[in-house]
Structure 1
Amino acid sequence: MKLEVRGIEEGQPVPEKFAFGVFSEQDHMSFGPNRNPELVWEDAPEGTKSFVVIMFDPDVPSVAEDVNQEGKTVSKDLPRVDFFHWLLVDIPANVSRIPEGEDSDGVSPKGKEPGPAAFGVRGVNNYTQFLAGNPDMAGTYGGYDGPCPPWNDELLHHYHYEVHALDVETLGLSGEFDGNAVRDAMAGHVLASARVTGTYTLNPDLRS
């Protein structure tokens, strides 16, 4: 099975048009275009009944107290956890492409609705938790929201775009389901998978 994420080459930086946050000399970070990239996949195995799209960052600090704090850095040695940026399940077996900007085209303060969408069912990404304490941004973030790693993180972040071919038409998920729920529901049903990985940072010391 093959996956192409148009505009993102394996191991190369994710373009800013796909990012939730972009570098700013004045404020460290400003909102980006936040468009989902176009995904195209092929060679799904016989018996495929649906697809799942997952995008996640495995490099997110497990402790957030120093994140984006002036005069502090987030050590590259800090343990890291997965942060889900995009969850789309129950994509019909006859679909093999998601157009650019279809699931996100700009930052939506207070989030986007999860649930049925044009190409499947949206799950809830981890901006829901990350922005919960911000009164201007708090809400439920369904579908795609792109990279925005801490601007003071010593570690370059990696973004895994994945498509999984499943042997079931639906995972039976509804409501505000998250990435761990998707992984649990997929277990034992994955016929094939493909992945493209890009990188991103807002740390000026890593950008140069």
Structure 2
Amino acid sequence: MKVFTQSVLALSLLAMGSAHAFELKSNDIQEGHPMAKTFEYNSWGCDGGNQSPQLTWSDVPEGTKSFAITAYDPDAPTGSGFWHWIAFNIPASVTELPRGVDIKKLGGQESRIDYGSVGFGGACPPKADGMHRYQFTVWALPTEKLDLNQNTPSAVIGFTLNNMAIDKAKLTATYTR
């Protein structure tokens, strides 16, 4: 009976909003909505502003010592998706990135993405390929520094993040050309 009572109490607290979930928000992009051309790549046939969006996260999980940020297009016609941004070793004191952020100035690091460059690479789906989803994810990590570098393959970084993250928060925007 005691376990049942504790379970009911825990569910009641969740229903009342006492428990907070790790959350990612943006002033620039909204869940399920198209992104502006400001966030389109400026190469590969695209001519956007290639700016990373402003991102803010809250209700950081206990034990977080650093963050990673990724942007991924699962709809890219590659068979393996397309990595648009991989940043890590972002200090735990950082909970907001301004538009067009320089990750190095925050003490973080970025890795090579699928465009072949290091840093943010905006949306650039093939013309007439329909709507693509762009999943921006902030990862709460239990270590200050990941033993990765700018040449670590994106799949290895994705594996590392998925296996060690305390929690993650995701915001998915869309883009069509």
Larger radius of gyration: 2
- For 2:141, the equivalent position in structure 1 comes to 166
SS at match of 2:170: strand
Percent identity of paired positions between Structure 1 and Structure 2 = 35
1:142 aligns with 2:118: yes
- For 2:68, the equivalent position in structure 1 comes to 52
Quote how far apart the aligned CAs of 1:21 are: 5.2
Distance of 1:30 and 1:187 partners within structure 2: 31
Distance of 2:128 and 2:168 partners within structure 1: 33
CA contact (8 A) 1:21 1:147 kept: no
Aligned residues: 154
* Runs (4+) off by over 6 Å: none
Distance of 2:140 and 2:46 partners within structure 1: 36
Change (3 A) 1:187 1:194: closer
CA RMSD across the alignment: 1.7
1:127 aligns with 2:103: no
Quote how far apart the aligned CAs of 1:98 are: 1.1
SS at match of 2:155: helix
Question: If the length of structure 1 is used for normalisation, what is the TM-score?
Answer: 0.69
CA contact (8 A) 1:54 1:163 kept: yes
Can you give the 5+ residue segments of structure 1 that lack an aligned partner in the other structure? 23-28, 63-79, 104-115, 129-140, 203-208
The structure with more helix, counted as a fraction of residues: 2
Can you give the 5+ residue segments of structure 2 that lack an aligned partner in the other structure? 1-21
1:37 aligns with 2:53: yes
CA contact (8 A) 2:118 2:150 kept: no
SS at match of 2:160: helix
Question: If the length of structure 2 is used for normalisation, what is the TM-score?
Answer: 0.81
